[in-house]
Amino acid sequence: MELSTTLPVVWFLIIGFAIMMYVVLDGFVLGIGILTPFADDEAQQELMMNTAAPIWDGNETWLVMGGAGLMAAFPRAYALILSSLYLPVLAMLIALIFRGVAFEFRFRAHRSRRIWGVGFHAGSVVAAFAQGLMLGAIVEGMPAEGGKYLHGAFAWFSPFAVMTGMALVFGYGLLGATWLVLKTEGRPQRIARDLTRPLMLAVIAFMIMVSAWLPFLDSRLMDRWFAWPNFLYLSPLPVLTVVVAAWLWRAVLADREVAPFVLALSFFALGFLGLVAGMWPNIVPPDMSLWDAASPPSSQGFVLVGAAIMIPVVLFYTAYSYRVFRGKVRAGEGYH
Amino acid sequence: MTAEFLSRIQFGFVMSFHILFPAFTIGLASWLVFLEALWLRRRSEMLRDLYFFWLKVFAGSFGLGVVSGIVMSFQFGTNWAGLSTVAGNVLGPLLNYEVMTAFFLEATFLGVMLFGWNRVGHRTHFFATCMVALGTLISSFWILAANSWMQTPQGYAVVDGVIHATDWWAAIFNPSFPTRLVHMVLACFLSTALVIGGVAAWYLLRGIWQDKARLMLRCALGLVAVAAPLQIVVGDLSGLVVRAYQPAKLAAIEARWTTASSVPLTLFAWPDEQAERNDYALDVPHLGSLILTHSWDGEVQGLKDFPVADRPPVAAPFFSFRIMVGLGVLMLVLALAGVLLWWRRRLFEHRWYLRCWIAMMPAGFIALLTGWYTAEIGRQPWVVYGVMRTADAASTLAVSSVMTSLIVYFVTYMILFGFGSWYLFKVLRSGPEAAPPRFGFEATAARPLAVADDRREE
């Protein structure tokens, strides 16, 4: 097989992996921000933020990895997606700015403390919603000709994209709640536990709605899913999703601490895989395939050497840092 | 007003804002490595206090660098889709290497550095500090490689209007890369040293934190005394590369209109781009040739040799270059005066000299920005020199979209800059207080064994 045939597939998987890492890892940090209004007081909010303070920056770097990876391996898709989703991307970046600086500024502030609490929450909600919006718009399809988007500056705004936006806010909320169950104790853990069940119901409802809507989209994203014998090969995915959902539900009811977080992550990853399987072999539906968008083997091959070495190294020291900061986070513990 | 013009304003603005923070953190990270290494050797409380004090400054500046840096990584797609499509094959891989080798390293070990003091051993903590500093330097390697490739592209071929890399070694180690990398890293060290020295001078004048301030000022002076002369040499080498590969940029920097040998050095002038001449010029004969060509009557190309469509703007590179060089000379004078005073054991006695350090605090950053303006405006109208014009690089966007984003970025960054400066000022004002001792030393399962060994040492 030709390099120009296989390399884009490898890169599709790498970027898919990077985006999935971003979605689950920053997902739970954004989820914390989405849930901070449920805390009883400022001290609990601070505790919730402290559970993520040492690791949020590394988590967010997966977004940059996804962006830079897309530019390196699929420059045409990078250019098309970002320039046609100009305003949602702007909203996401500005929201991530306020969310990110809140970690540092809130700690330094006295009178302006509340501002950064609000900034952390609003930034998290808007970033999650904008990401869901972008996901919805891509899934719906971005018709382009000669690399230029055919629709206007607001074409991404559609009922479907608004729904995926809301779905992601609730989804990240679920990840955040299960993370807080894992990392806190006492009252904050109780709050997180009480939130987990309604959030789970909402996420399952959204998942069903999105799945039901997909076959009716112009991008015909789901054709692949229902074409025989694809459905047979792909069927483990929905089956596994249902199993994980049921398992998660039981783990939550049983007041388990670790299992809900791990299962919520798996649940998210499976949903993501389902979408990616539907998009294949397009990187931007309806008709930009990964081979159309790919950079030549001289570029993809060059970065692949680095990725093959560096991604395992990154995963190794990321795991190390999670190990250093394992265990429950307690009040008053550990800022520099 | 076109969307392309607004995109250029926006890129210049978000880039100028962003670059200040990485520049500061590149310098600060190495300073923290130095402080912690010294502390590991001597175990004096003073060094630990200083480490934690500058760590606070580092954390804030790193945070602002991260959030404004994420914006940068998306700008190429949102506003410069043309550039990404045509040059993404080269720029994308370089930026991706930056993420994989630098960003993850910095971001992950930053957590250990900021929050790990009570959770890992001293050596491990020092290792984390070193990894963060290494990350900042690796990051400057890749970003300078990418930018230098856009200045002096090599190792590529254009196929169907798209740039393909043919030789990565040549692309990365392109002609302007080595000097520009060293020039930039030195600029970061100088900017940081001037801030450290300025803060020290401020404490000395206020009569507080005397011992710590003396140590800081000595270190800062030592660094500036070495780096400022070195920077002038590297800047000169960088100028030779510009002359060889970007003659139109050099002509704009020096406001030379006609090609001539034994050209003067124009210290000041008012370049008139319409009339193609300089008004109110203050010239030093032969010095231009001497500096630019290293010979008494070397030839320097003039702007009239280039078609009008290929000429960069003149006033901006001309003036920003002069501000940069002027500040560089002031840094050299500051360092020489300091060395003289130090030699006479009067470094801390003269209040006027300490005031000079305070006045010079922003000098490094201003020189750094004006240096970048010289480099980036001077290479116009090209985005990839001689290959792709800036006008062809922009995304097709509605003017209203770019106007919206420009205003939103401006307002957001002003808020960040306002609050960020205020919090930084608060940290600096309270000074290097005693760092909190290691607390909570009851043995818990969550704590690595390494900590138990350190406990005996304390």
Q: Is residue A336 part of a domain?
A: no
Angstroms from B453 CA to nearest CA on chain A: 17
Any idea how long chain A is? 336
pLDDT at A1: 65
Rounded to whole angstroms, the Cα distance separating A169 from A127 reads 9
State yes or no: pLDDT of B208 exceeds 70.
yes
Crossing angle of helices B3-42 and B122-151, rounded to 10°:
150
Q: Is residue A193 part of a domain?
A: yes
Rounded to whole angstroms, the Cα distance separating A254 from A247 reads 10
Distance of CA A49 to the CA centre of its chain: 19
State yes or no: pLDDT of B2 exceeds 60.
yes
CB contact under 8 A, A82 and B63: no
Three-state DSSP class for B32?
helix
Q: What's the burial of A230, exposed, middle or buried (CB within 10 Å: 0-12/13-18/19+)?
A: middle
| DSSP H or E run through A148 | strand A148-149
Which 8-state DSSP code applies to residue B447?
S
pLDDT at B283: 82
A293 near B CB under 8 A: no
Rounded to whole angstroms, the Cα distance separating A119 from B225 reads 43
Do B320 and B370 meet the contact criterion of CB atoms below 8 Å apart? yes
Q: Which two tokens stand for residue B394?
A: 């922009």
Q: Is residue A162 part of a domain?
A: yes
Residue-number span of the structural domain to which A256 is assigned: 3-324
State chain B's mean pLDDT as an integer.
Answer: 89
Rounded to whole angstroms, the Cα distance separating A333 from B73 reads 34
pLDDT tens, position by position, B370-388: 999 999 999 989 999 989 9
Q: Which residue has the tokens 């003659």?
A: B247
Rounded to whole angstroms, the Cα distance separating A335 from B275 reads 61
Do A142 and A284 meet the contact criterion of CB atoms below 8 Å apart? yes
Which 8-state DSSP code applies to residue B380?
T
DSSP B318-368: HHHHHHHHHHHHHHHHHHHHHHHHHHTT-TTT-HHHHHHHHHTTTHHHHHH
**Cα–Cα distances in angstroms (integers) from residue A9 to residues A15, A63, A80, B155, in the given order:** 10, 20, 19, 26
CB contact under 8 A, A75 and B93: no
State yes or no: pLDDT of B118 exceeds 60.
yes
pLDDT at B447: 39
Residue that wins the pLDDT comparison between A315 and A111? A315
Closest by Cβ to A104, choosing from B60, B93, B104: B60
pLDDT tens, position by position, B257-290: 888 888 888 888 888 888 888 888 888 888 888 8
pLDDT at B448: 38
Per DSSP, chain B holds a count of helices (H) and strands (E) of: 16, 8
Rounded to whole angstroms, the Cα distance separating B369 from B365 reads 6
pLDDT tens, position by position, A294-335: 888 888 999 999 999 999 999 999 999 888 888 888 776 655
State yes or no: pLDDT of A237 exceeds 80.
yes
pLDDT at B255: 86
B184 near A CB under 8 A: no
Closest by Cβ to A306, choosing from B97, B396, B409: B97
pLDDT band of B451, cuts 50, 70, 90: very low
Q: Is residue A150 part of a domain?
A: yes
State yes or no: pLDDT of B326 exceeds 60.
yes
Rounded to whole angstroms, the Cα distance separating A264 from B217 reads 53
pLDDT at B259: 87
Q: Which residue of A has its CA nearest to B53?
A: A336
pLDDT at B440: 41
Q: Which residue of A has its CA nearest to B427?
A: A108
**What average pLDDT does this structure show over B39-43?**
89
pLDDT at B449: 37
Any idea how long chain B is? 458
State yes or no: pLDDT of B174 exceeds 80.
yes
Q: How many domains is chain A built from? A: 1
pLDDT at B454: 38
DSSP A268-300: HHHHHHHHHHHHTTEEETTTEEHHHHPPPHHHH
pLDDT tens, position by position, A135-165: 988 888 777 766 666 677 777 788 889 999 9
Do B182 and B188 meet the contact criterion of CB atoms below 8 Å apart? no
pLDDT tens, position by position, B291-319: 888 888 888 888 888 898 899 999 999 99
Angstroms from A324 CA to nearest CA on chain B: 7
Q: Is residue A51 part of a domain?
A: yes
CB contact under 8 A, B88 and A55: no
State yes or no: pLDDT of B195 exceeds 80.
yes
- B244 Cβ contact partners less than 8 Å away, ≥ 6 residues apart: B175
A142-151, A191-200, B333-342: which has the minimum mean pLDDT? A142-151
pLDDT at A335: 52
Rounded to whole angstroms, the Cα distance separating B146 from A144 reads 29
**What average pLDDT does this structure show over A245-271?**
89
**What average pLDDT does this structure show over B34-48?**
90
**What average pLDDT does this structure show over A269-278?**
84
Distance of CA B205 to the CA centre of its chain: 29
**What average pLDDT does this structure show over A72-86?**
89
State yes or no: pLDDT of B441 exceeds 60.
no
**Cα–Cα distances in angstroms (integers) from residue A93 to residues A119, A161, B34, B432, in the given order:** 13, 18, 35, 34
Rounded to whole angstroms, the Cα distance separating B17 from B14 reads 5
pLDDT band of B453, cuts 50, 70, 90: very low
DSSP A32-70: HHHHGGGSSSHHHHHHHHHTTTTTHHHHHHHHHHHHHHH
Q: Which two tokens stand for residue B260?
A: 């001539």
pLDDT at A146: 65
Q: Is residue A335 part of a domain?
A: no
Q: Which residue of B has its CA nearest to A294?
A: B89
pLDDT at A111: 79
pLDDT at B442: 35
Most confident region among A248-257, B135-144, B395-404 by mean pLDDT: B135-144
State chain A's mean pLDDT as an integer.
Answer: 87
B117 near A CB under 8 A: yes
Q: Is residue A334 part of a domain?
A: no
pLDDT at B288: 82
CB contact under 8 A, B71 and A72: no
pLDDT band of B32, cuts 50, 70, 90: very high
- Alpha carbons within 13 angstroms on the beta-carbon side of residue A248 total 28
A47-61, A255-269, B190-204, B254-268: which has the minimum mean pLDDT? B254-268
A155 near B CB under 8 A: no
Q: Is residue A330 part of a domain?
A: no
State yes or no: pLDDT of B41 exceeds 70.
yes
**What average pLDDT does this structure show over B225-245?**
92
Angstroms from A67 CA to nearest CA on chain B: 7
**What average pLDDT does this structure show over A214-227?**
72
Report chain A residues whose CB lies below 8 A from the CB of B111: 53-55, 57-58, 321, 324-325
Q: Which two tokens stand for residue B323?
A: 């501000």
Percent of chain B whose predicted confidence (pLDDT) is above 90: 59
Report chain B residues whose CB lies below 8 A from the CB of A327: 444-446
Please choose, from the candidates B118, B111, B121, the residue with its C-alpha nearest in 3D space to the C-alpha of residue B55. Answer: B111
